[in-house]
Structure 1
Amino acid sequence: HHARKRDAPSGTALALQAILSRGLGRGEEGPRVPIASTRAGHIPGTHRVAFDSAADQILLVHTARSRAGCAAGALLAARWIVGRRGIFAFADVLDDILALELEKERKVR
């Protein structure tokens, strides 16, 4: 993340850690997936997830070059929530939108 970001690790990094820990069967009480945080430069955010072994490495990288993606997601969520009641996570928005896209794709085939 950029040098002025105050929290370390970021909320996204902590969420990724929790998801990976659960996926690896470590649960909330087991050893957590390790996190490293760096605050430097001007790029709003880069997250890397690495699966490493002696034989090879799989590396997933997301780099946010601006906050435009966050703004687009906020607008998407604002349109989605109209008419709904309750407390939601952004995962709820994505689940619904992805389900609609899959349904559209099935109808085309």
Structure 2
Amino acid sequence: MGKFEIKKDKSGQFRFNLKAGNGQVILSSEAYKTKSACENGIESVRKNSKNDAMFERKVAKNGKPYFGLKASNGQEIGASQMYASASSMASGIASVKKNAPSAKVVDNS
């Protein structure tokens, strides 16, 4: 079972990571000024991860594939790590789709 972990960064802003059942980070958020905004980001991931069209598949300058997840307003709410191949990126997207809707929230802030 996946989980969202909320943390506070060095600048005092809030971020979350979505982790798969094996503990691997599969999606990381941008920084939020407040915890409530961070929690709203988590709810947006839950909602938008159900729609494949909200996943933007990208290729980094170094040629490695990764993806971003967009909210309904078009703003990116999370990004993946870099993957070795397009198929491993597709597995990462599938893992977000599987884990995000029911993942519990752990507040480590």
TM-score, normalised via structure 1 length: 0.25
- Bigger relative contact order, structure 1 or 2 (CA pairs below 8 A, ≥6 apart): 2
| Larger-Rg structure | 1
Greater fraction strand: 2
TM-score, normalised via structure 2 length: 0.25
